Amino acid sequence: MSSSTSRGGGSDQPPTRRLMTQTAGNIGETAFDSEIVPSSLVEIAPILRAANEVEEHNPRVAFLCRNYAFEKAHRLDPTSSGRGVRQFKTALLRRLEMENDPTLKGRVKKSDARKMQSFYQHYYKKYIQALENAADKADRAQLTKAYQIANVLFEVLKAVNWTQSMEVDREILDTHNKVAEKTEIYAPYNMLPLDPDSANQAIM
């Protein structure tokens, strides 16, 4: 669903270095994901991944996710002192400037707050419930990914609603409670091999 930066070409430059060496024109068109996020801004990687995932279905929601990621990046490093942060933030800002007007024109709802709430419910019903109700039962990886994206969408939704002084609908809060509960169940985990004589030992 999402586009990604090229992994080919035999380049051995680190992701942030590759971004820094791009031309200004190419930077504006870069697909922002975890591969090019500076290490000091790693917290925004899930937000950018979610933006890439939903962009095909709703460009405005993807824009709002990236805009929230930019604001969070600025809070994490307001002086852009981290390695590659200034270049990254500049590139992301340019993309936001390019996408704001086109995505705004395509917005059906009267406000971004309403748009986020509508899409959040749409995502839950069309993707999460569909996976949960599938006859063959979706695999754990699919559900884990869907819950992670839903959590990001809710985080962005809260920020947009707060900016526009609008309360989050009760229905949205109830849906999020379901998502949060299932997220704990489907949280990624690692399986460690147990010793043959460990049947009676506590699982760590």
What average pLDDT does range 147-170 have in this prediction?
93
Which pLDDT band holds residue 130 (cuts at 50, 70, 90)?
confident
Are 21 and 103 part of one and the same domain?
A: yes
Domain of residue 178 covers 109-187
End residue of a domain, out of 107, 137, 157: 107
How many domains does the chain contain in total?
Answer: 2
Are 87 and 56 part of one and the same domain?
A: yes
DSSP per-residue codes, 71-128: HHHHHH-TT--STTHHHHHHHHHHHHHHHHHHHHHT--SSSHHHHHHHHHHHHIIIII
- pLDDT, one tens digit per residue, over 24-56 is 333 334 445 545 799 899 999 999 999 999 999
Which residue has better confidence, 71 or 136?
71
Torsion of CA 117, 120, 125, 128, to 10 degrees: -160
Give pTM, 2 decimals.
0.73
The two structure tokens encoding residue 37: 């996020």
How does the average pLDDT of the chain come out, rounded? Answer: 78
Residue 152 within any structural domain of the chain: yes
Which pLDDT band holds residue 8 (cuts at 50, 70, 90)?
very low
The two structure tokens encoding residue 10: 């035999």
Residue 3 within any structural domain of the chain: no
Residue 32 within any structural domain of the chain: yes
- Residues 175 and 81: their CA atoms lie apart, in Å, by 39
- Residues 28 and 5: their CA atoms lie apart, in Å, by 13
